[in-house]
């Protein structure tokens, strides 16, 4: 495992102390019901440890995006308090303050006994949260003596509740078990992988993945590209790609990456065939969409590539089967449509069948693997899409950097 140079909850004593613990409870909700509680479950080891050690456990998190006042009622953390209570088998007191740190939160914290748990309202109820404003950071800090950050999903952002607050809580400031696990798995894969190391990137746009492509090419043995972003590479190779998604401003970049792969002696695998359609499905999951499979050099001018074809699936599955470490981020096609999801499914299946250390970098690919029931066949499924991508780019994550260094 890669060494994490940050203090963790194992390095501190929280007995009798007020501990503010930033979690990632950003779960999907439908009509007020949680539809996937993975992120809450992933936070349990840290919360249980803090309870067992006799801390006064004050939890906070954001949930969704809040643009206007009207968004607030549907983004309350109240359902999370309920679910967390069930999972912990003990009361989680919900402090329902519209200003997050208000009379309810202060009274609830003042009444806490060792081992009690309080959950604050959605931190994004405060506009300053995402601007890392001092006032909200100070308000949060006023509740606690110690800070624990276990929210990997927001670690790539510097907000009040994960970074700003560390200026005002005396400390220590440490990371929780989930954060530690995420960094260890991703760090090990990128910095010290058991080889062959295969990285798989998909998703819509090349422009979103420029740095991650470049950085992973240096680290991996084979880089596999799928999804919409593959077609800019195919065009750079000189193929006609019809009406497939393309970013003409990134053709030169793709050429550069192919040259870089050659120079470094790395394999860069691109689709050799495609599932094509004559329009983008609307609605996206339209099961009636008509498809055809063609070799990559045979895409007609009026058709678009929507998924990797069967030869590509086989090629990619074989590369995964030969690997000892695999990192995957981004779908291979328009997986939201069952007719166009075979490529993404095939890659998920290849990871599930593999004996390698397999890591899925959050987001759509994590959702796909979870939906397919593969979660227990993958070594590590990250809880953070954006955060894991930035980590794979080689960037320092502000949420991690803000924790105290190990002595
Ligand atoms: P991203 O947010 O970059 O990870 O991209 C995910 C999105 O890429 C999904 O919503 C997919 O539907 C979309 N996508 C994948 N393959 C294609 C493709 N060949 N053409 C258009 N969109 C695609």
Active site (annotated) includes residue 361: no
Residue with CA at minimum distance from ligand 1 atom 21: 228
Spatial CA neighbour of 190 closest among 225, 215, 214: 215
DSSP state of 406: P
309 is catalytic: no
Residue partners of 56: CB distance under 8 A and separation at least 6 = 16, 17, 18, 19, 109, 112, 113, 114, 115, 116, 118
Closest atom, ligand 1, to C-alpha of 333: 16
* Pairing mode, strands 325-329 and 197-201: parallel
Would you state the pLDDT for residue 1?
Answer: 40
Name the residue of 235, 278, 331 whose CB sits within 8 Å of the most ligand 1 atoms, as the mutation to test its pocket: 331
Contact indicator for 362, 387 with CB cutoff of 8 Å: yes
Q: Please identify which of the residues 205, 260, 311, 395 carries the catalytic annotation.
A: 205
In the chain the domains, ranked by start, together with CATH numbers, are 2-177 (3.40.50.1260), 185-392 (3.40.50.1260)
Output the residue whose Cα is nearest ligand 1's atom 20: 228
Residue-by-residue pLDDT tens, the chain, 407 positions: 455 789 999 999 999 999 999 999 999 999 889 998 989 999 999 999 999 999 999 999 999 999 999 999 999 999 999 999 999 999 999 999 999 999 999 999 999 999 999 999 999 999 999 999 999 999 999 999 999 999 999 999 999 999 999 999 998 999 999 999 999 999 999 999 999 999 999 999 899 899 999 999 999 999 999 999 999 999 999 999 999 999 999 999 999 999 999 999 999 999 999 999 999 999 999 999 999 999 999 999 999 999 999 999 999 999 999 999 999 999 999 999 999 999 999 999 999 999 999 999 978 898 888 888 898 999 999 999 899 999 999 899 999 999 999 98
- Residue 270 CA to ligand 1 center (angstroms) comes to 16
Is 363 in contact with 329 (CB distance < 8 Å)?
yes
CA of 149 to the centre of ligand 1 (A): 31
Is residue 89 flagged as an active site residue? no
**C-alpha atoms less than 13 angstroms from C-alpha of 381 in its C-beta half-sphere:** 23
Q: Any catalytic annotation for residue 263?
A: no
Burial, 355: exposed, middle or buried (Cβ in 10 Å; 0-12, 13-18, 19+)? exposed
Phi, psi of 351 (to 5 degrees): -65, -45
The active-site residue, picked from 18, 22, 39, 235, is 39
Among residues 53, 79, 41, the alpha carbon closest in space to that of 148 is found at 53
What was the pLDDT predicted at 78?
97
309 C-alpha vs ligand 1 centroid, how far in Å?
A: 15
CB atoms within 10 A of CB 289: 19
Whole-number Å distance between alpha carbons of 233 and 202: 12
Tell whether the torsion through CA atoms of 386, 391, 392 and 395 is positive or negative. positive
Which residues line ligand 1 at a C-beta cut-off of 6 Å?
203-205, 208, 227-228, 245, 305-306, 330-331, 333-334, 336, 363-364
Which of 296, 298, 278, 297 is closest to 288 using CA atoms? 278
Q: Are 166 and 140 in contact (CB under 8 A)?
A: no
Residue with tokens 């803090």: 50
Atom from ligand 1 closest to the CA of residue 230: 19
Q: Find the 303 Cα to ligand 1 centroid distance in Å.
A: 16
Task: Determine whether 237 is exposed, middle or buried from the number of CB atoms within 10 Å of its CB (0-12, 13-18, 19+).
Answer: middle
Structure tokens at 264: 């470094």
Q: Give the span between the Cα atoms of 221 and 217, in whole angstroms.
A: 8
Choose one of 211, 243, 334, 369 to mutate for the ligand 1 pocket test, by most ligand atoms within 8 angstroms of C-beta: 334
Task: Supply the residue whose CA is at minimum distance from atom 18 of ligand 1.
Answer: 228
Per-residue pLDDT at 372: 86
Determine the atom of ligand 1 nearest the C-alpha atom of 205: 3
Predicted confidence at residue 404, as pLDDT, reads 96
């Amino acid at each position: 495992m890669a060494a994490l140079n940050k203090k963790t909850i194992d390095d501190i004593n929280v007995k009798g102390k007020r501990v503010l613990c930033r979690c990632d409870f950003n779960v999907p909700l439908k009509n007020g019901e949680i539809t996937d509680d993975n992120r809450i479950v992933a936070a349990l080891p840290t919360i249980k440890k803090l309870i067992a050690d006799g801390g006064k456990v004050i939890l906070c998190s954001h949930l969704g995006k809040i643009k206007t006042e009207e968004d607030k009622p549907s983004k309350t953390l109240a359902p999370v308090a309920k679910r967390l209570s069930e999972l912990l088998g003990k009361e989680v007191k919900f402090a329902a303050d519209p200003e997050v740190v208000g009379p309810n939160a202060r009274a609830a914290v003042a009444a806490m006994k060792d081992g009690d748990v309080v959950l604050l309202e959605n931190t994004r109820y405060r506009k300053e949260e995402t601007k890392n404003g001092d006032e909200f950071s100070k308000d949060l800090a006023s509740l606690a003596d110690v800070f624990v950050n276990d929210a990997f999903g927001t670690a790539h952002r510097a907000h009040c509740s994960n970074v700003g607050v560390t200026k005002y809580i005396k400390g220590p400031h440490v990371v929780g078990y989930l954060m530690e696990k995420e960094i260890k798995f991703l760090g090990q894969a990128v910095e010290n992988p058991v080889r062959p190391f295969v990285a798989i990137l998909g998703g819509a746009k090349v422009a979103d993945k420029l740095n991650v492509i470049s950085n992973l090419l240096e680290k991996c043995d084979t880089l596999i590209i799928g999804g919409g972003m593959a077609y800019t590479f195919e065009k750079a190779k000189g193929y006609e790609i019809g009406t497939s998604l393309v970013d003409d401003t990134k053709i030169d970049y793709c050429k550069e990456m192919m040259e870089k792969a050659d120079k470094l002696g790395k394999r860069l695998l691109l689709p050799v065939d495609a599932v094509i359609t004559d329009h983008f499905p609307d609605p996206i999951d339209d099961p009636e969409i008509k498809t055809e499979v063609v070799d990559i050099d045979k895409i007609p001018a009026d058709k678009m590539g929507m998924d990797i074809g069967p030869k590509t699936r086989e090629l990619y599955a074989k590369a995964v089967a030969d690997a000892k470490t695999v990192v995957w981020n981004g779908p291979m096609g328009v997986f939201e449509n069952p007719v166009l999801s075979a490529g993404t499914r095939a890659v998920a299946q290849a990871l599930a069948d593999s004996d390698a250390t397999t890591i899925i970098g959050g987001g759509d690919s994590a959702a796909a693997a979870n939906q397919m029931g593969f979660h227990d066949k993958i070594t590590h499924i990250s809880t953070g899409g954006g955060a894991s991508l930035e980590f794979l780019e080689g960037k320092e994550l502000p949420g991690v950097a803000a924790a105290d260094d190990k002595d």
